[in-house]
Amino acid sequence: MNRPVIYTDFDGVLNAFPDDKIQRRGGVGHTGWLKPDDPWAILYSEDRAFPLTGNLVVNVPVGHFRIHWSRELANAIHALAVDGIAEVNWLTTWQPYCDRILDPALGWDYTLEHTIQWYDPITREGRLTGKFEQIGSRVRFESQQDNPSPLIWLDDEECHDTARARLKELSTAASVLMIRPDEHIGVSRRQWKLIQDFIAHPGAYPPVTLDEEPTSRSHSGHLGL
């Protein structure tokens, strides 16, 4: 098979939204003030979550936003593109600002990571359906190739069982891995290990796999863009 293709959201995936009290007291790994069986202690354990070592306020035409991310995780994803192991694509509402804002903030080379144009930033047309349509279109494209690429989709809102069922109906030619993180911590260490295993052995996976962090939940939107 060709190298895997990654589509990643930003908010809730790389840009995490930790609880304010946790953030004020040191963030991931600084939970000694909690009882060991406290859900927060478990969620924000360094064994489970990447410490959010990146902290920056970014200015875009629509406002000012503070972003928190793990440099370890961001560097690991970027390395996949640098080393030619995977194709990495942004699939995020930050679409107009990926090259100029997100890539420099994360230390990514915008010539290696690509931004998918999936909605109209002026009219906002496509915001509700555009992400799935992009993934579905790529699945159909790969189904026509002699050497199809496996797909990895990271999104804390749109990677869910209904989307999994719809992708499965497309009769994928190569495996698809859907990752739904918990927005409070972003992609977990366990999920990152799963992504790495999928990249190494995509043929060992069923046509469509959905992995949801056990604490992830449905929500109406983010505090981000």
For 130-185, how does the pLDDT look when each residue is reduced to its tens digit (9 = 90+)?
A: 999 999 999 999 999 999 999 999 999 999 999 999 999 998 999 999 999 999 99
Query: Hey, how many other C-beta atoms are within 10 angstroms of the C-beta on 47?
Result: 9
The pLDDT of residue 202 is above 70: yes
At residue 224, the pLDDT reads 61
pLDDT range class, residue 121, cuts 50, 70, 90: confident
What is the DSSP code (8-state) at residue 98?
Answer: I
Lowest mean pLDDT among 50-54, 119-123, 158-162: 119-123
Rounded (10°) CA dihedral 132, 134, 139, 140: 110
At residue 51, the pLDDT reads 97
At residue 28, the pLDDT reads 94
pLDDT range class, residue 62, cuts 50, 70, 90: confident
Lowest mean pLDDT among 50-54, 127-131, 178-182: 127-131
Give dist(CA 144, CA 107) in Å, integer.
35
At residue 218, the pLDDT reads 62
The pLDDT of residue 223 is above 80: no
Give dist(CA 44, CA 20) in Å, integer.
12
Residues whose CB is less than 8 angstroms from the CB of residue 17 and which lie 6 or more positions away in sequence, other chains included: 11, 68, 183, 184, 222, 223, 224
Give dist(CA 188, CA 183) in Å, integer.
10
Average pLDDT over every residue of 9-17: 97
| DSSP-assigned beta bridge partners for residue 67 | 56
Mean pLDDT of the chain: 94
Average pLDDT over every residue of 25-46: 93
The pLDDT of residue 40 is above 70: yes
At residue 221, the pLDDT reads 59
Average pLDDT over every residue of 33-59: 95
Q: Is 211 helix (H, G, I), strand (E, B) or coil?
A: strand
Alpha helix segments (H runs only) across the chain: 20-24, 39-43, 71-82, 103-106, 130-143, 161-168, 189-200
The pLDDT of residue 70 is above 80: yes
pTM summary value: 0.95
Residues whose CB is less than 8 angstroms from the CB of residue 154 and which lie 6 or more positions away in sequence, other chains included: 6, 7, 8, 9, 13, 179, 181, 187
**Angle between helix 71-82 and 189-200 (nearest 10):** 10
Percentage of the residues of the chain whose pLDDT score is greater than 70:
96
Average pLDDT over every residue of 121-128: 88
